[in-house]
Structure 1
Amino acid sequence: MKTLGIIPARYASTRFPGKPLADILGKSMIRRVYEQASKSTGLAEVVVATDDERILQHVHDFGGRAILTSPVHQSGTDRCAEVLGELPAFDTVVNIQGDEPFIDPRQIDLLCTCFADPGTQLATLAKKISSTDELLNPNSPKVVLNHVSNAIYFSRAPIPYLRGQEQESWHLKHAYYKHIGIYGYRAEALKAITRLPVSPLEKAEALEQLRWIENGFPIRVAITELETLAVDTPEDLQRILVNLDIMKNI
């Protein structure tokens, strides 16, 4: 099985314009993501998918591979599908977030292992929630699993509702999981889900993976104990860099 790692990267960002090119201790954000992804043993190749010539040229300048994609894509999944159309020799694709410059390659490796099961069409990661703040944060989507580790539902709200229990203790009474936004797709499944229309649940929660569930595509979920550090705003980046321990070996 041959797996392609794709890093979607847009220049235009409402909260952080030019984010992929932001400097992080001497290297751009997109370069750090690319270099971390390239350490994964599960990926045969890594490519940046961008709609911006500046990002394309920058990746080429540091020796990486990048492909210019359409500016009209609504999601990284759509951008991945376009790249797969140009590089059809791959069996599976891993969609790596372009705003996680410190991603641990072991998370990518873990996601890749999901496809050892021939029945896995789509896969993602989750991490057990350990605090009330994390549980109640609507910017941190949660995922509910069934007994075979497939996703039942994703929500910005804490689900299930623990009746008769104080909300502050919910994460101590029940195993809640935070969704980690890295995705894996078999090639045919990726092509299929990008042809689906936007679904009602997707509109309600603003979570594209609900479209796949609504249309009957099971999503395998692997549990990681590793934390992710996404950069949505310049303030996020400054907070992350306060803890220089994360820069070890990166």
Structure 2
Amino acid sequence: MSVLAVIPARYGSTRFPGKPLATISGRPMIERVWRHTAAADGVDRVVIATDDERIAEAVRAFGGEAVMTPESCRNGTERALAALDVLGGDAEIVINVQGDAVLTPPWVIGSVPMAMKADTDIAMATPAVRMPPETEAKFRAAKAAGEVGGTTVVFDKAMNALYFSKAVIPFQRNPDAGTSTWQHIGLYGYRADTLRRLVALDPSPLESAESLEQLRALENGIPIRVVAVDYRGRSAWSVDAPSDVEEVETIIAREGELVP
């Protein structure tokens, strides 16, 4: 069962132009994500899908494989499909790894293809991590202060997603119930036919309201399996703005490299 991992990398970020090439502790950000993805179990091939030759050149310089995709791709999902088509479309599973997730461990990335290989009924999968109380408290405080970043998810007893939200869900009216809050990790696995179906669909109302692409799948009856993961004591952080680089470098200095 062939698994293709695609890392979409766009140069023209509004908040952080050239973000994939930003240097983090001596390496371009895109190289760090590529190394973590290449080290993940269950992944057969890793490509960086871009629309900018500067990124493609940098990828080739560190030994990665770059695929040129149309500038018209509106999001990472469309770019992942474009990469699949450029490469011939023969992969059975496509893993879409966010290019700014520089601290996502290889075992978290690998959890998705391994789950999909183990259960051929899974059409689409994504990981989530249970928030410890101190992390949840900080997360809720950040949301109360107006921060948009970070997504939570709730799922049924079979681990199929019920809803994703930028709000903190579920609402804890009864904290003594012991219900955990799960943070969604923004990478996705698709069967190739599911990816094509998803891209062909129009944006959905809840997707537009929350600006969360995965809600398009749920609104159209495409189930998403949530894979519970453990960061094993590692910190999670993504690079959304230039100010995040220093924070990520501090974490790397404290916790060490994920891949030597």
Q: TM bucket by the smaller chain? A: over 0.9
Structure 2: any 5+ residue segments left out of the alignment?
none
Q: Tell which deviates more after alignment, 230-239 or 194-203.
A: 230-239
Count of aligned pairs between the two proteins = 245
CA-CA distance at 1:63 after TM superposition: 1.6
Decide which of 143, 152, 176 is 1:142's aligned counterpart. Answer: 152
Residue number among 186, 202, 210 corresponding to 2:215 in the alignment:
210
Partner of 1:128: 130
What is the rounded CA distance, in whole Å, between the counterparts of 1:41 and 1:161 in structure 2? 35
1:15–1:247 distance in 2 versus 1, CA, 3 Å: farther
SS in 2 for 1:236: helix
Amino acid at match of 1:108: I
Query: Any conservation in 2 of the 1:8–1:48 contact (CA below 8 Å)?
Result: yes
After superposition, where does 1:81-120 map in structure 2 within 5 Å? 81-87=81-87, 88-115=89-116, 116-120=118-122
User: Shift of the alpha carbon at 1:234?
Assistant: 1.4
Q: Distance in 2 between matches of 1:152 and 1:15?
A: 31
Once residues 24 and 142 of structure 1 are traced to their aligned partners in structure 2, the CA distance between those partners, rounded to angstroms, is 27
Equivalent pair of 1:135/1:171 in contact (CA under 8 Å):
no
The match for 2:182 is 177
Give the % identical residues. 40
What's the TM-score, normalizing by structure 2? 0.89
Measured in 2, the distance between the counterparts of 1:5 and 1:161 equals: 34
Q: Please tell me whether residue 246 in structure 1 is matched to residue 247 in structure 2.
A: no
One-letter code of the match for 1:145? F
Pick the aligned partner of 1:236 from 228, 231, 244.
244
CA offset at residue 85 of structure 1?
1.1
Q: Report if the CA contact (8 A) 1:77-1:194 is conserved.
A: yes
Q: CA RMSD, aligned part only?
A: 1.6
Could you report, residue by residue, the CA deviation over 1:139-159 in whole angstroms, capped at 9, with x for unpaired residues?
211101001000000111122
How has the CA–CA distance of structure 1 residues 63 and 237 changed in structure 2, closer, same or farther, with 3 Å as cutoff?
same
Please list the CA deviations of residues 127-178 of structure 1 after superposition, one character each: whole Å capped at 9, or x if unmatched.
1122223146342111010010000001111222233x4xxxx498321111
**CA shift in 2, pair 1:173/1:234, >3 Å:** same
TM-score in terms of structure 1 length: 0.93
Deviation >4 Å, runs of 4+: none
